[in-house]
Amino acid sequence: MGQLVYEDDQVAAFNDLNPAAPVHVLIIPKKHIEKLADIEDGEDACLAGHILTVANKIARERGIAEEGYRVVVNNGSGAGQSVWHLHFHLLGGRKLGWPPG
């Protein structure tokens, strides 16, 4: 894993080892959840909200909150998921095209 940039009791965030943008941070819940589709109401839903709050915090700290950033989650192999532990990609620091892939 890359350099740790944030950690609390629920998540850890690391710089991506193969960044796809000038800012590319992986935000990973400490609770094992295989994929986004496995999130359930209650505790998991609160965790997902917390992850997005952490993404906003890191975006502000990295200076990309105002210019814009993207949060990406690949859900399942058809969407490109290759690591079977839920993780969110925070991308920014350059113009991001659409469609993404």
CA 21, CA 15: separation in Å to the nearest integer?
A: 11
| Whether residue 89 lies in the annotated active site | no
Note whether 96 and 46 are within 8 A (CB). Answer: no
* Cα atoms in the 13 Å half-sphere on the side-chain side of 100: 13
Helix, strand, coil distribution of the chain in percent, nearest 5: 25, 25, 50
**Active-site residue, from 32, 50, 85, 87:** 87
Please tell me whether the peptide bond between 99 and the residue prior to it is cis, using omega within 30 degrees of 0: yes
CA 43, CA 79: separation in Å to the nearest integer?
A: 25
Catalogue the active-site residues.
Answer: 87
